């Protein structure tokens, strides 16, 4: 007897008892759907984090100096020199000075805007483009000019798209808008990546104090280890202690974030796997009942010449087909749920995370569900195959 015939027989049996089959498959359906959504969500999160980091560039390093308490200090000029000295690894450098005060436009106060003092190289480092007007220039730094470049949100929401030449106030300082950045998000939103403002770091230092954080790019991503080592060595030389500075690479942070997401996804997928095992036990349970119910059928088949392995084959394939069908339904269900999750996430938060199941996850889920059917179908099938034909024939 061929496998295809056993399969046809199994499908016939599955179709003839739809409700029972559906109930049997429920555990597998839920398990597979959950696994697919979780893996999809994990992939979406990872993609989201990767995208966010690559906006900043994975070849950037962040140096934070905490000179409070130390008798030694390091200012922006020193840092520029330090970068220059290690120019075989390092490329551009920009201090970043966070501005605490709100942005005031006319009589309105905008409290959502992220304002930073940066150097003329910052736009190249962060991959920002100027859509109209000009960016910041070296002369702005040198003369501490009272100018700024704003994001698309402020431009559209408060200046009707014609911000260049207008003035606004940050931390009590009046600044002239000289440029507007190109839009980054899908729609410029309050508090989003387009709600930003950049001014010369020298101007910012006057309002908020000395720069303590620097964003530095490397010549190449391959130089992470050398760059970090060179910067740490130079900073140690200045401070004579490693407790006054930290050097972080975006790539390392990305790695840390990714591995954290992976652990999270792993734990959740483990929970989904438990559901699959429970589903498998459900299949075994129903198959055992089915063997008892079909004792007479087994006896008839045996009396007509079915060998033990055919009976075995029939029951194992039926279990495998049931759980494979459950797997397919679970995959479709999981895909649907992923699409719903994507829409819901987009609606309730400003970030968009695409919950996309990978082909690998789908194939694995299908494989596991077939495997579970075979594994948990084996015992009942063995029981069926071993039945004594005489007893089975007289079973009522």
Partner 1 sequence: MNPLIEFQQVCKYYQMGETTVVAADHISFQIYKGELVAIVGSSGSGKSTCMNIIGCLDVPTQGTYLLKGQDVGQMNKNQLAEVRNQLLGFIFQQYNLLPKLNLVENVEIPLMYAGVSKRERRERARAALEEVGLGEKWRHKPMELSGGQQQRVSIARALVGHPAVILADEPTGALDSRTGREVLGMLQDLHRQGHTVVLITHDNSIAVQAQRIIRLEDGQVVYDGPSNAPEAVVTPRAAGGGSL
Q: Which residues bind partner 1 (CB under 8 A)?
A: 1, 5, 12-13, 16, 296-297, 299-308, 310, 389-390, 393
From CA 144, how far away is CA 40, in angstroms rounded?
Answer: 49
Do β-strands 196-200 and 114-118 pair in parallel, antiparallel, or remain unpaired? parallel
Identity of the residue, 2 or 347, whose beta carbon is nearer to partner 1 in the bound complex: 2
**Longest alpha-carbon distance in the chain:** 104
Identity of the residue, 134 or 309, whose beta carbon is nearer to partner 1 in the bound complex: 309
Closest distance of CB 13 from partner 1, Å: 7
Residue 386 φ/ψ, nearest 5 degrees = -80, -10
Closest distance of CB 20 from partner 1, Å: 13
Alpha carbon 40 to chain centroid, angstroms = 9
Identity of the residue, 56 or 393, whose beta carbon is nearer to partner 1 in the bound complex: 393
Identity of the residue, 23 or 390, whose beta carbon is nearer to partner 1 in the bound complex: 390
Assess contact for 151 and 196: CB atoms under 8 A. yes
Identity of the residue, 301 or 383, whose beta carbon is nearer to partner 1 in the bound complex: 301
Closest distance of CB 302 from partner 1, Å: 7
Instruction: Find the DSSP H helices in the chain.
Output: 3-16, 18-56, 76-85, 122-126, 138-143, 152-159, 201-208, 224-239, 250-293, 295-303, 308-348, 359-386, 389-393
Closest distance of CB 315 from partner 1, Å: 15
Closest distance of CB 378 from partner 1, Å: 19
Q: What is the DSSP letter of 140?
A: H
How many residues does this entry show for the chain?
396
Closest distance of CB 7 from partner 1, Å: 13
Identity of the residue, 9 or 341, whose beta carbon is nearer to partner 1 in the bound complex: 9
Closest distance of CB 289 from partner 1, Å: 16
Name which of 138, 147, 154, 151 is nearest 203 in CA terms: 147
Structure tokens at 42: 């994990």
Identity of the residue, 134 or 386, whose beta carbon is nearer to partner 1 in the bound complex: 386
From CA 139, how far away is CA 137, in angstroms rounded?
Answer: 5
H or E element at residue 93: strand 90-98
Closest distance of CB 301 from partner 1, Å: 7
Closest distance of CB 328 from partner 1, Å: 23
Closest distance of CB 374 from partner 1, Å: 22
Identity of the residue, 16 or 243, whose beta carbon is nearer to partner 1 in the bound complex: 16
User: Which residue in the block uniquely carries the two structure tokens 């402020």?
Assistant: 154
**How many C-beta atoms lie closer than 10 Å to residue 323's C-beta?**
34
Assess contact for 136 and 94: CB atoms under 8 A. no
Identity of the residue, 196 or 383, whose beta carbon is nearer to partner 1 in the bound complex: 383
Q: What is the DSSP letter of 223?
A: G
From CA 201, how far away is CA 208, in angstroms rounded?
Answer: 10
User: How would you class 357 by CB atoms within 10 Å of its CB: exposed for 0-12, middle for 13-18, buried for 19 or more?
Assistant: buried
Assess contact for 135 and 179: CB atoms under 8 A. yes
Identity of the residue, 288 or 393, whose beta carbon is nearer to partner 1 in the bound complex: 393
């Amino acid at each position: 007897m061929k496998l295809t015939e056993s399969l046809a027989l199994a499908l016939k049996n599955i179709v003839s008892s739809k409700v029972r089959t559906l109930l049997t498959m429920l555990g597998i359906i839920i398990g597979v759907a959950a696994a697919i959504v979780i893996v999809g969500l994990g992939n979406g999160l990872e993609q989201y984090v990767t995208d966010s980091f690559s906006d900043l560039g994975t070849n950037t390093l962040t140096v934070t100096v905490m000179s409070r308490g130390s008798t030694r200090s390091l200012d922006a000029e020193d840092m520029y020199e330090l970068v220059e000295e290690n120019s075989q690894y390092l490329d551009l450098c920009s201090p970043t000075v966070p501005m605490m005060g709100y942005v005031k436009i006319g009589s309105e106060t905008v409290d959502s805007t992220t304002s930073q003092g940066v150097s003329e190289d910052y736009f190249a480092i962060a991959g920002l483009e100027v859509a109209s007007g000009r960016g910041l220039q070296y002369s702005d730094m040198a003369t501490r000019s009272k100018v700024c470049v704003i994001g698309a949100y402020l431009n559209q929401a408060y200046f009707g798209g014609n911000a260049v030449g207008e003035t606004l106030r940050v931390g009590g300082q009046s600044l002239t808008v000289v440029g507007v950045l190109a839009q980054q998000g899908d729609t410029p939103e309050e508090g989003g990546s387009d709600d930003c403002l950049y001014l010369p770091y020298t101007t910012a230092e006057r309002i908020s104090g000395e720069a303590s954080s620097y964003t530095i790019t490397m010549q190449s991503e391959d130089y992470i280890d050398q760059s970090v080592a060179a910067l740490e060595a130079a900073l140690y030389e200045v401070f004579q202690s490693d407790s006054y500075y930290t050097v972080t690479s975006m790539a390392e942070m990305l790695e840390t974030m990714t591995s954290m997401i992976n652990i999270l996804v792993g734990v959740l997928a483990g929970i989904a796997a438990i559901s699959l095992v429970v589903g498998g036990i459900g299949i075994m349970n129903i198959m055992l009942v089915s063997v008892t119910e079909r004792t007479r059928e087994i006896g008839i088949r045996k009396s007509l010449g079915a060998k033990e392995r055919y009976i075995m084959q029939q029951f194992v394939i039926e279990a495998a087909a049931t759980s494979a069908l459950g797997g397919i339904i679970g995959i479709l269900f999981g895909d649907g749920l992923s699409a719903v999750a994507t829409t819901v996430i987009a609606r309730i938060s400003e970030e968009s995370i695409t919950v996309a199941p990978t082909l690998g996850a789908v194939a694995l889920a299908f494989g596991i569900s077939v495997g579970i059917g075979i594994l948990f179908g084996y015992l009942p099938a063995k029981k069926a195959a071993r039945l004594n034909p005489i007893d089975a024939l007289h079973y009522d």
